[in-house]
Structure 1
Amino acid sequence: MTSLFDPCQLGGSALPNRIVMAPMTRVRAGAGGVPTPSMAAYYAQRASAGLIVSEGVQPSLVGQSNPGTPGLHTDDQVKGWQVVTGAVHANGGRIFAQIMHGGRVSHPETTGVRPVGPSAVPAVGQVFTPSGPKPAPVPRALETAEVPGEARSYADAARRAVEAGFDGVELHGANGYLIGQFLSSSANLRTDRYGGPVRNRIRFAVEAVSATVDAVGAHRTGIRLSPGAGIWGADETDVAEMYGALLAELAPLGLAYVHLEATTDEEVLVGLRRAWPGTLVMNPSAPMGPVAADRAAADRWLALGADLISFGRAFIANPDLVERLRQGLPIAADDQATWYAGGDDGYLTYSAYRHAA
Structure 2
Amino acid sequence: MTPADLAALALTIKAWGRELGFDEVRITDVDLAHREAGFLDWLAKGYHGEMDYMASHGLKRARPAELVPGTVRIISVRMPYLPSTTSPDWREQEEARLAEPGAAVISLYARGRDYHKVLRARLQQLATRIGNETGPFGYRVFTDSAPVMEVALAEKAGLGWRGKHTLLLHREAGSMFFLGELFTDLALPSDIPTTAHCGQCRSCIDVCPTQAIVAPYELDARRCISYLTIELKGSIPLELRPLIGNRVYGCDDCQTACPWNKFAQASGLDDFDVRHGLDSAMLVDLMGWSEEQFLRNTEGSAIRRIGHERWLRNLAVGLGNAAAGILCGDAAMLAALKNRSSHPSELVREHVAWALMQHGVLA
TM-score (norm 2): 0.27
Q: Which has the larger radius of gyration?
A: 2
TM-score (norm 1): 0.28
Q: Which has the higher helix share?
A: 2
